[in-house]
Structure 1
Amino acid sequence: MMQPLRRILQENSQCKYYHTAYAANAKLALGSVQIDKMVIDETYADITTTLNEICSCSRMVSAAIENHRTIDDYTEIALKNLVKSINGFRQSCNRLYDFIQKKTKQRDTTMNDLPLQDSPTMEPSLIDDDSPCEKLVSQLGNALQHCSELLPDNLQLLKKKVRKSKQISPSDLVLSHVDIMILLARMHFQISIEDTYQQAYEYLATAEQLCTDTGFSTGYRWLSGEFYAMGAKMAAESMFSTARYPLRKACVLLEKDHHRINTDSGRLQLCKRYEILGTCCQKDGRFEEAVKAYRLALKRLPACSIEEFVKYHNQLAVTHMIDRHPFVPKLIDRFLRTSIIDPNQESLTLASEIMDLSSLDSAQRCIIQECELKVIHFLSLKMDLSKLESTLVNSLLHHYSAKDYPIRRAR
């Protein structure tokens, strides 16, 4: 059955989209099977021919799209199956790449644990330095790049349909494109090679642009996660100056996903990313940027997290509350320390003035001020903060009456 289709593809460059889409569909399915077999058997197989045919069929589909003016039901079904095959191929590539990464780490750990004289002579395998692994990853990246270029073209084709498609939505194509760009960025990014950073960023920037053009805000969340993963790896290696860009980009992209940041979990996630960005800037000696990041973290801190922290204010001491829920007081601590240390800071703003405390009563707000007072009291051993201490103490004494809060007032 495939022989006539292959002949058409070879002899007629003006073949219909329907035929080229199904030819690409078949090659992508074959590639997925071959890749999955490599992972299952843990052995290398030369699939260069299949990957080259995937690239060739992808170019044919793009050429057919240019000559395709309308989209009928058959074309729509072909497009749906093509997108499914692209997703399946991307998932298989992802599994293979994760497998290679896992086996490489295991090999490196084993070799490091063995004494040099006891290191075994290993046979070439899928993960050896001299194996075709690097070439295979490069070939997979090339095939994925062709697949990613297909999706925006197919998105334009889908717009030619008079009525809304019942088979596939434009967001499906954009999400597939985002997933492929993220995988390409992961495959290209190597923390030990600085030259790989820019190309990885460009892959993610391409996906970001498509999300912007199509209004697909959900895609920003996944791109933010990949930027954050890169920045976190750099920060873990004490590459604080280099990590600032991907961490800041992770925060900016997550801000764009309005649906996500309007939820408590989304705001908390964004808050934690700003906190890590602030810590990275602080360790890099950029105190002004760190203060801004911590300030944004305090603004994004959801009210439910603050309420959970001060929930047992009538039952527990502040120190016990801090031990049970350390995130909020830790963020307050880092913001105040950085603000006070920053030599360019003209005036000091307290964390309680930035946080959303509208849902708290006066006693619960005092818990936040007590956390601030602890930080100020500790820092006052190194510098004169008596005025700020007095302000906080007077505010606490105003709310802690001798009748209602005798112990806290005395302390």
Structure 2
Amino acid sequence: MDFAYDARTEELRARLLVFMDEFVYPAEAVAHEQRARLASPWDTPRVVEDLKAQARRQGLWNLFLPDAEYGAGLTNLQYAPLAEITGRSPQLAPTALNCAAPDTGNMELLAQFASDEQKKQWLKPLLAGEIRSAFAMTEPEVASSDATNIETRIERDGDEYVVTGRKWYISGAMNPDCKVFIVMGKTDPDGADVRRQQSMILVPRDTPGVEVRRAMQVYGYEDHSHGGHAEVVFDGARVPASALVGEEGGGFAIAQARLGPGRIHHCMRLIGMAERAIELMCRRAVERTAFGKPLAQQGVVHNWIADARVTVEQLRLLVLKTAWLMDTVGNRGAHTEIQAIKIATPRAVVDIIDRAVQLHGAGGVSQDFPLAELWAGARTLKLADGPDEVHQRSLARRELKKYV
């Protein structure tokens, strides 16, 4: 058993750490200032485009995609420590490397399931960072954690499909560079197999009948850096039949294939968020004095920092094991571990960030530190890609089967 990173991972980690120190962290305040002067809050600050250009020059681009034809050709195990580093600045670093959700999952989906024409039209510009995309699955009127509940209709009409439905919390949709929606809806709502009722279809943003209605807030944040989370209405939007991804009835399977890597990517970045919180906690503890001595000499602070370090080390090992299993036995073989990290990581990281907020006092909930935004992002991931309770239910059933 070897816990060391391989040579390629170490080399990329070294370059990425330098990139973060020299370009990303200094750009955080610049991005905030530039965004305040933009004509639209959803436009991209100039410094983000500068970071993207710098990342491409340094070969830190599309690291997430294991398919060497389209991406860096890294395994999940190789990518995990790199995604962790980008998680330390989740509003800038993933976008700078073209490794930000939801585009990562969408590019993986297109690379695996799209036709050659669809890849040429949508995957190629996404890989180049020229456009953004959105994955339209979640709906306000149904429990979307159970994808069989989806109500959006995708109806065949001659050489076209007609898409009708209402989605919300569609990440990235407020960004004007978001040019295409991958929409999940039902082509066979009365089909006997509830997992064959759904299909996926590509709907360009400028299609008549598509309305990006409003931005949905997350704990008061609009998440400009990720292009927001929008309510989107499809009112009889017509697209060519060639816009269907894969086959009719294949939507549920495609969604599951997309969400597996997405879940581990979130957990990788969450560990980086926790590391940033620990760093800020330690700096605050040694710099701040209360009741006659530094916070670093307060016993409860020792407990918070020690517990945080132990937790992060545990989580990292579990995430790396999951990445290794995905590489060796596939997503299905790593199903238990994927669910385990999806349950454990957001829950633990929320607690770590919350302790860091507490240590910073009023500053912890302010815009002067990244902690409040980190907390909101981590807390949201207890819901994203399936709420904890759904994964707990599924995981428990799998464990119980061993004894029935």
- TM (norm. structure 2) is 0.26
**Which structure has the larger Rg?**
1
- TM (norm. structure 1) is 0.25
Bigger strand fraction = 2
Higher relative contact order (CA 8 A, sep 6+): 2
